[in-house]
A and B are shown apart, each in its own frame.
Chain A
Amino acid sequence: EAGVAQSPRYKIIEKRQSVAFWCNPISGHATLYWYQQILGQGPKLLIQFQNNGVVDDSQLPKDRFSAERLKGVDSTLKIQPAKLEDSAVYLCASSFGVSQPQHFGDGTRLSIL
C-alpha cells in the first residue's frame, strides 16, 4: 500500500512570498489532515477535511493560510504572505475515517528567510 505522498520535500522562500504544498493521501482514506510541526514540538493540527468538506480549521491562521481538497482526494495548503514564524515542517496525514489511525507523510520543510 502506497503511503501519504507530499511535495516538495524542501522549500526556501523569503518573507512575504507565497508557497504551496501538495498532498496525496492513502487511497480510500476519506479524512485528510494538515499539521504544522515547529522544531522541537509535536505536530499541531491546522485543518481537517472529511472528503472535500472542512470539519475543523479552528487553528488555521486564515488571514494567510488556505487549504482545499476539491475532489476529495488530493489537497493543497497555501501560505500567502509568509512570515518568519511560518518556518516549520508541514505534515499531511490521512485516515480511513474520523477517529481512525492517522498515517503521516514525510512532510515539507519550509524555511523563511
Chain B
Amino acid sequence: GENVEQHPSTLSVQEGDSAVIKCTYSDSASNYFPWYKQELGKGPQLIIDIRSNVGEKKDQRIAVTLNKTAKHFSLHITETQPEDSAVYFCAASMGTGFQKLVFGTGTRLLVSP
C-alpha cells in the first residue's frame, strides 16, 4: 500500500552537530519528495524538496539525498542551532494522474545549546 516510513521518531543533538533523518517509501512511481518543519501550534513549513531526476539538493545548512533504487531519501542538517528544534516530516508523492502526498510519522528534533 501507500506508505512512508520515517526514522528516528526522536533525535537529540548538541548545538553545532549534524542531524540526519531517513525515510523510505513504497511506491516506485513516486517522483516528488518534500520535507516539512512543524513548530508547535503552526502548520508544516516546506523547507526543501527534491524530484526524482535529481540525486541531491542543498540549501545552506540543509541537504536532501535520494536513492530511487532503494526507495530511500534523507534530510541532513549541518551546524544545528536551537531554532532548528521542531518536528520534521518527510513526504512522497503517490498515485497516478493527480498525485497526492503521503507523509511520514515525523521526527522530533531537539537541539540543545
Query: Is B one of A's binding partners?
Result: yes
A residues within 8 Å of B by Cβ?
4, 40-45, 48, 50, 55-56, 91, 93, 98-99, 101-107
**Contacting pair A43 B44 (CB below 8 A):** yes
Q: Which applies to chain B's interface (DSSP): helix, strand, loop or mixed?
A: strand
- The residue on B at minimum CB distance from A6 is B43
- Residues of A within 8 Å of B102, CB to CB, are 45
> A43-B89, A50-B98, A98-B98 are contacts. A103–B46 as well, Cβ < 8 Å?
yes
Q: How far is the CA of A110 from the CA of B111 in the complex (A)?
A: 30
* Count class of interface residues, chain B: 20 to 34
* A and B contact pairs by CB, cutoff 8 A, 17 listed: A40-B105, A40-B106, A42-B4, A42-B6, A42-B106, A43-B103, A44-B103, A48-B98, A48-B100, A55-B97, A56-B100, A98-B98, A98-B99, A99-B32, A99-B93, A99-B99, A101-B49
Q: What mask results when residues 35 to 56 of chain B are scored 1 for a CB within 8 Å of chain A, else 0?
A: 0100001111110010000000
Query: Which B residues are in CB contact (< 8 Å) with A102?
Result: 34, 46, 101
Sorted nearest first, the 3 A-B pairs with minimum C-beta distance are: A42-B103, A104-B43, A55-B98
How far is it, in angstroms, between the C-alpha of A43 and the C-alpha of B105 when the chains are bound? 9
Are A45 and B43 in contact (CB-based, < 8 A)? no
Nearest chain A residue, comparing its CB with the CB of B46? A101
Flag B91-113 by CB within 8 Å of A: 1 or 0 each. Answer: 10101011111111110000000
Nearest CB to that of A3 among chain B residues? B43
Could you tell me if B98 and A42 are in contact, using CB atoms closer than 8 angstroms?
no
Which residues of chain B are within 8 angstroms of A103 by Cβ–Cβ distance? 46
